[in-house]
Amino acid sequence: MFHSNKLVLILPGILVGLMVFGGYYFLNHTETVTNEEMKEFVELSLDAHPVKEGLKVVSEWDWTVMPEDGIYGEDYLGFAIEGGTLQTNAEFIEAHLEVYHASEIVYESTGTVIENGVIFAFPNEIAENTVVGNRGRAEITIKGEGHISLEDISVQLLHTWVAHSPLTMTDATFRTPEFEHARNVPYWIISKDGQ
């Protein structure tokens, strides 16, 4: 009775065996990334175009992976003007940041204007199955009598992954970031210069 139906009994067994082996292989060989390693997987862009008021500068960031050790903390995006000090005849007339989840805006902020640029602070966390901080866009408009171009501007993304005191907002380049009343805050920085 089973001689003519051996194939019908053997093929599902082989298929189940392949699925179990394939699933085991996939789970054990999937590359995971920690917050410390994630720096290599973040895309940061910087673009500018002239507008009537001056120069509009836009930056976008996107994490292409999520860290296995979760996200929690506060991130910072800094637009810096070349030369270390903002020209006395230049001013920021607009500074706006949006953080997205899918196509929905989940966080908005205006920047803090400092001596050499603008700094935005925004959360990075997972709240109610919504990831906040992994993707966003910021734009600034600079008005001035002198010639300011994209080559004069850089953008920096500073990522932290622990709860900490706020960043002391004194330098938009984040050369030596300091956190109020906190030491040894883990972070990394990626930069993009205007071209």
Residues paired with 140 in a beta bridge: 57, 95
pTM exceeds 0.85, yes or no: no
Alpha helices in the chain (DSSP H): 6-29
Fold annotation for 38-193:
Immunoglobulin-like (2.60.40)
- Residue-wise pLDDT for 10-45, tens only, equals 888 888 888 988 887 776 766 678 899 999 999 999
- pLDDT of 84 reads 43
Express each pLDDT in 51-64 by its tens digit.
887 889 999 999 98
The pLDDT of residue 44: 96
pLDDT at 115: 85
Contact 74, 58 (CB under 8 A): no
CB 120 within 8 A of CB 177: no
Percent of the chain exceeding pLDDT 70 equals 90
Residue owning tokens 């994209």: 150
Contact 137, 62 (CB under 8 A): no
pLDDT on residue 126: 82
What tokens does 120 get? 């935005």
Which pLDDT score is estimated for 146?
Answer: 64
pLDDT of amino acid 157: 97
Return the pLDDT at 1.
52
So what's the pLDDT on residue 141? 92
Task: Specify whether the CB–CB gap between 179 and 164 falls below 8 A.
Answer: yes
Q: How far is CA 161 from the centre of its chain?
A: 12
> What parts of the chain have a pLDDT lower than 50?
84-85
